[in-house]
A and B are shown apart, each in its own frame.
Chain A
Amino acid sequence: MIALKIISLIIWLFIIPFGVGLLPAYLLPEKDRTPGAVFVYGYFVMFALFELVGIPIVIFVTYHSFSLLSYLFTALSLALGLAGTALTWFGGKKGYKLAFWKREELKQMALEEKICFLIFFLLLAFQMYMLFTRASFDGDDAYYGVQGVIAQQLDSLYRINPYTGRSAPLDVRHALALIPVYEAFIGRMSGIHATIIAHSVVPPVFLALTYLVYFQIGKRLLHNKKDMLPMFMIVLALLQMFGNVSIYTNETFLLTRTWQGKSLTGNFILPGVFLIFLCLFENNAESDKKVSKGTGYWILLACVNLAAGVSSSLAVLLSALLVAGLAVLFAAYKRKFSILVKAALTCIPSAVYVLTYLIISH
């Protein structure tokens, strides 16, 4: 039984997101199709898909809404995962491939670099161990955590007061941020209680996702000094551990409230926007002719903007504003109006989200 639960977790936390990530990866240059990057893209798309399927259900379906969401999301994510896998498989026959780490690269790596990577992985393992074995009290769990448990145990989405259990009108303010429901979904697929998923299972995975985003950023920033990448990761890991200078920093959220949408905003969604902008303009600069002007990245950026909704309504605004601000900077620098147009198109999901919020709240 436990083995089955673990297998289900592996499928839903690793294999399917990876399969889904293969879809956008198909539109990206080979160097950006590393397994880690594909995994990150997969989560961007999975969260966006969850919002796309979940929001109409939350708004229009009162009874057994979680079951309906689970059926639809299972079918769609499996379909996308299979499509990504098929695309990679058949593309492989035409020379398309992922950028796996090559053994020669590892051999070429200096001993010092290897030791530094080892230190980083030890820090990461320590942080994961602490997330698993230490309980971090947060009053917000009485709201968000319970929403997940309600979904799993009572098959209802945002129509029960989480504090008391009484029936309530749709809680518009939080109803569009579906991360507790996503965690409950993982719980349903694996047969594990939603609170265990939120507090013990998801945190190490989300932590790994954060570091994967930072790793991708580091790779692009230090492309001329690859030997510095392990140091970059160690310093970042230390900054997460010692970034608890106040209760407000994203570092504090990462290691104390990892399972909450707020942490996801500051440590996955917003760094994700920076990562995509780094890729986008690196791509243009190097004029990769196989990929048409970064279409894949713009699509990914739209997914990030929609995925932000899974965290919180504020995350949608922050992500869209960040995209808009960075697009203005790049458009001014490159003197290309088209950048603004493309960025505006990626913000359409955010606009629809805000519009939906306004309509249902009035």
Chain B
Amino acid sequence: MFGIFMESLVIFKLYTGLKLLIVLFALSWIYLLVTEKDKRVRLLFVWAPPLIILLFLFPISRKLFVAAGLDGETYYRILWTIPMGVITAYASCRLFSRHKRIGLIITSVLVILCGSLVYKNGYISKAENLYHIPNTVIRICDLIAPEGESGQAMVVVPEELVYYVRQYNASIRMPYGREMVASQWDYYNEVYEAMEGTEIIDLEKLLEATRKEYCQYIVINPVRQVKGDPEKLGLQLLSTIDGYRVYKDPVAAAEVESWGQYYEED
């Protein structure tokens, strides 16, 4: 039980980022605890938050959470039920109600100093288009997109593009997706092993794996080294897009095409 409590405590610490913003919230809460007279506000913003934190840290809660089939990694979301922002903003308004200008300046400076600007987040970058996915992916997808409703296209792409292809065109299939790239899962996929498992891509091995999956297109990262001559192995270079080499495998393509003919005749 103590172990579970400590785990929940660590989750709480991770949630706060050990930044001073949580101190600002705690001070705001204490201020409301002492000064707030409205019973309704006290119940919602003074008494409810500590109860929620206690419930969050209580080991049985976490056990129940996981027993209910919920993902233990999302346990921190219980803390979303505490309106920390509202409590901080409301307390500052009450505290500085007679000194609005200076109050606004002090609170703003404190928030800026105690917090962390979201736009400094490394995952935020200038959008290249309205889709907010790289232009390179769009150009590759447009090149290989299947024609008509019955057309089929399967492509294996480098790790960094895996997330985006199907966000643009759901008709394009892939032998593996994010489930292979994300570190939290430990699956095996032959194509993935051949594509990403070694420093130098062994094209012969990759083709052997992709043909089993009837994968018609292969996209190679500009900086990845390749063992084997693509042309000699029967691959056809369709285009080079922003350095990415887009190959078509005529063998897999012919196989897939024959299915189409079979279904049409059928």
Contacts and interface: CB of A to CB of B under 8 A. Distances in A.
Task: State yes or no: do A and B come from one complex.
Answer: yes
Interface of A: 112, 116, 130, 132-139, 141-143, 145-146, 149-150, 152-154, 160-166, 193, 195-196, 199-200, 214, 217-218, 221-222, 225, 227-228, 231-236, 238-246, 248-252, 255-256, 262, 265-266, 270-271, 274, 277-278, 281-282, 285, 313-314, 317-318, 321-322, 325-326, 329-330, 333, 361
Contact of B123 (A137, A153, A193): A137
A112 B105 CA distance: 13
A145 B168 CA distance: 9
A333 B43 contact: yes
Q: Chain B interface residue count: which class?
A: 35 or more
Contacts, number: 256
B102 to A, nearest CB: 11
Contacts of B88: 235, 239
A253 to B, nearest CB: 9
26 contacts: A132-B127, A133-B127, A135-B133, A153-B171, A165-B171, A165-B174, A199-B130, A199-B132, A200-B130, A221-B41, A221-B93, A231-B107, A232-B89, A232-B90, A234-B104, A234-B108, A235-B108, A239-B115, A241-B115, A245-B19, A245-B116, A246-B15, A248-B14, A249-B15, A314-B71, A317-B70
Nearest to A196: B130
A166 B175 CA distance: 9
A278 B40 contact: yes
Interface of B: 14-17, 19, 21-22, 39-41, 43-44, 47-48, 51-52, 68-71, 74, 76-81, 83, 85-86, 88-90, 92-94, 96-97, 100-101, 103-104, 107-108, 111-112, 114-121, 123-128, 130-133, 154, 162-164, 166-179, 181-182
A271 B15 contact: no
B80 A142 contact: no
A165 B117 contact: no
Given A165-B174, A285-B40, A325 B48 contact: yes
Given A133-B127, A239-B89, 7 more contacts: A134-B125, A135-B126, A163-B177, A165-B170, A193-B131, A271-B86, A282-B40
Name the prevailing secondary structure of the A interface residues: helix
Nearest to B15: A248
Contact of B126 (A133, A149, A271, A281): A133
Name the prevailing secondary structure of the B interface residues: helix
Contacts of A132: 127
